Amino acid sequence: MHLIPQSWPHLHILVSVFPSVGLIFVLGFYMAALATKNEVIKRSCLILFGILALLAIPTYLSGVRSMDLFSQDPKVTQSVLNAHYYWGLGALAILVITGGYAVVELWRVGKPSDQALSILLGLAGLTLALMIVVDELGWEINHHELQRVYTPAEAATATPQAWSHVHMILNHFPTVGWVMALTFYVIALVANNDGLKRASLAVFVVLAIVGVPTYVTGAAAMWALTVPPMPGISKAVINAHRDMALWTLFGLGFTGVAAWIEIWRYRYISRFSNTSLYLVLAFAIITLGIMAETGHRGGQINHPEIRVATDVLPTDPTAGISPALELLINNVIWFVPWQTVHFFGFTMIFATVMFVVLRILGFWKAVPFAAVHRLLPIGVIAVVMNVFTGMLMMLADTYRYVVNDYTFAPKIAFIPIGATAVLYFSMSDRLWKLKGGEDAPLFAKAVAILVFVCWAGVIACGRLLPYL
């Protein structure tokens, strides 16, 4: 990976995602700080609002220089460039105002008033809305596959470009989100703030969960870019990106599971283990390095402007870990055992979900919630087991899943929703204090129903895959 950008477009790709995606995470932590009245998180967010505002400078400068390059490309229209520029200018202006207001309030009074915090929340929300428009317009500049028109013959075998679009949206969350989560996590360790530690660990878990649909949509996007083939798109370069994405998935898994275990343990001993916390930190740093290389290889697929003369790009479309796994798992001898383990994992997941959900819904109120909370590690182990086996089975026949199976996309959507909702069972203080004979809060019941519906949907959609 080039640690120093070799061009203005490369710099723009690296920094422009932080004011938009980074703002989502800072805003999320900020709302959590307002809800819990945690001053350490509030101050951290105000400072990070200011840092994001400073990133408006390299984002603007690199964007203007990149426009000069793209204006010479006959495939890029001036109207698209102008729309992206003016919307981006407005978004960056509001971002600077948001960051400036946050820093001034923090410096002026040390502890901003509730009114000032509400104003800041509104400014950040407006900035985020504008950034969403800017990002969508930016993708239209260089991702021409999103507007690709197929002939009737091509349409019969083509993979929907919606997979490419969704992958572009999702892949920024594990990457940029990881940087933001790691930043907050380091602040939490330095400040020794348990509230920020829990919040950061929870974000690591959520990002690990999001890594699953990100990887799946990436595999689907490969077929969208190569069947039928697109000029300038290399299957060998895609495979190099897929190989690093596979390692990223493992890194996300190790970090996410280690983070969740510490959240789960905290409930029983009311303190964190320094050994576990620093183990999570080590996993997170290693994963960030792997993700950086994964993102760079992904950029090389469709961004020739960031390639330099010293780049040695792969040329063999059959080389790499991913093609080898595809060839191996296509053998029935290997496919059937993984499928068996996969089905067993779903049994474990659904059994765990049923026990916890039924208690929350009041079917055995005599049992305190802490008792069923002890079952959650079984479900987490099963989820990890199914992600691994499911990824292997998907590699065996990704094209059929993403083109012909109508239940595959809903299944992939249900997984992150259901898994993230389960995290609430370990984070909720009201649920943890629920004693035998007491009724769960209404919100907890709503989450329980959502969890049940999502995992039932995952199982139903997965079971229908061979038949649709």
Contact predicate 238/318, CB 8 Å: no
Confidence at residue 357, expressed as pLDDT on a 0 to 100 scale? 93
Give pTM, 2 decimals.
0.91
Q: Residues near 29 by Cβ (< 8 Å), separated by ≥ 6?
A: 41, 44, 45, 184, 199
Torsion of CA 235, 240, 246, 252, to 10 degrees: -120
Query: In this structure, are 251 and 327 located in the same domain?
Result: no
| Residue 313 maps to a domain | no
Query: In this structure, are 106 and 186 located in the same domain?
Result: no
Query: In this structure, are 420 and 334 located in the same domain?
Result: yes
Report residues of the chain scoring pLDDT below 70.
Answer: 1-6, 108-114, 309, 332, 404-405, 468
Confidence at residue 118, expressed as pLDDT on a 0 to 100 scale? 80
Question: How far is the C-alpha of 217 from the C-alpha of 215, rounded, in Å?
Answer: 6
Confidence at residue 3, expressed as pLDDT on a 0 to 100 scale? 46
Query: In this structure, are 124 and 155 located in the same domain?
Result: no
| Residue 311 maps to a domain | no
Write out the DSSP string of 141-167.
HH-GGGG----HHHHTTPPPTHHHHHH
Torsion of CA 187, 193, 196, 197, to 10 degrees: 90
| Residue 312 maps to a domain | no
DSSP-derived 3-state class of residue 130: helix
Question: How far is the C-alpha of 207 from the C-alpha of 249, rounded, in Å?
Answer: 10
Contact predicate 350/306, CB 8 Å: no
Q: How many domains are contained in the chain?
A: 3
Query: In this structure, are 207 and 354 located in the same domain?
Result: no
Confidence at residue 187, expressed as pLDDT on a 0 to 100 scale? 95
Question: How far is the C-alpha of 455 from the C-alpha of 393, rounded, in Å?
Answer: 19
Query: In this structure, are 171 and 277 located in the same domain?
Result: yes
Confidence at residue 404, expressed as pLDDT on a 0 to 100 scale? 63
Listed residues 285, 306, 327: the one ending a domain: 306
Confidence at residue 327, expressed as pLDDT on a 0 to 100 scale? 81
Question: How far is the C-alpha of 60 from the C-alpha of 301, rounded, in Å?
Answer: 24
| Residue 369 maps to a domain | yes
Query: In this structure, are 276 and 351 located in the same domain?
Result: no
Confidence at residue 146, expressed as pLDDT on a 0 to 100 scale? 74
Confidence at residue 98, expressed as pLDDT on a 0 to 100 scale? 92
Listed residues 113, 142, 171: the one ending a domain: 142
Query: In this structure, are 43 and 69 located in the same domain?
Result: yes
> Over the chain, what is the mean pLDDT?
87
Question: How far is the C-alpha of 353 from the C-alpha of 376, rounded, in Å?
Answer: 8
Query: In this structure, are 349 and 213 located in the same domain?
Result: no
| C-beta atoms surrounding 125 within 10 Å | 14
| Domain of residue 56, residue span | 1-142
Query: In this structure, are 268 and 155 located in the same domain?
Result: yes
Residue with tokens 């490969």: 222
| C-beta atoms surrounding 29 within 10 Å | 24
Query: In this structure, are 164 and 289 located in the same domain?
Result: yes
- The amino acid that residue 38 corresponds to is N
Listed residues 119, 142, 165: the one ending a domain: 142
Question: How far is the C-alpha of 222 from the C-alpha of 397, rounded, in Å?
Answer: 13
| Residue 439 maps to a domain | yes
Query: In this structure, are 16 and 82 located in the same domain?
Result: yes
